[in-house]
Amino acid sequence: MTKEEREQIATCIREEIETLRETVARLEDSAKTVDLDQPIGRLSRMDSLTNQGISGKVLAESKRRLLGLERALANVDDEDFGHCEECGEPIPVRRLLIMPEASLCVDCAE
């Protein structure tokens, strides 16, 4: 992998980290516990609980991806970055631009 490709991947990672941090902050508000003493109807309360559950799942996934991206950014200059952990072959740059936290090539990921 060339230095320019590593820089391009690092730039993509930084942009995605910034976006995810904003998403996490927004989701933390919507994933808060629904107050049972709130004067709303039964259906509205059920909708709120459903939305809370969905937001909580998306929040957990966003936090997991954020950690993976931060790890990838810390390792982007390492010699082994961009090589599959399973077979050792280089992971295509296009895959790393889409999913920089990927540690497996497409074949091994399947």
Read off the pTM.
0.76
**Alpha-carbon distances of 61 from 8, 29, 36, 64, 86, rounded to whole Å:** 24, 16, 26, 5, 24
**CA torsion 77→16→18→6, rounded to 10°?**
20
Amino acid at position 34, single letter: V
For 16-28, what is the mean pLDDT?
92
Domain spans of the chain, in order of start: 3-105
d(CA 41, CA 81): 53
Reading the block at residue 2, the tokens are: 């060339």
pLDDT tier for residue 101 given thresholds of 50, 70 and 90: very high
pLDDT of residue 90: 95
If one looks up domain 3-105 in CATH, what number appears? Answer: 1.20.120.910
The region of weakest confidence among 4-13, 14-23, 51-60, 62-71 is 51-60
Give which of 20, 18, 47 is closest to 34, Cα–Cα: 47
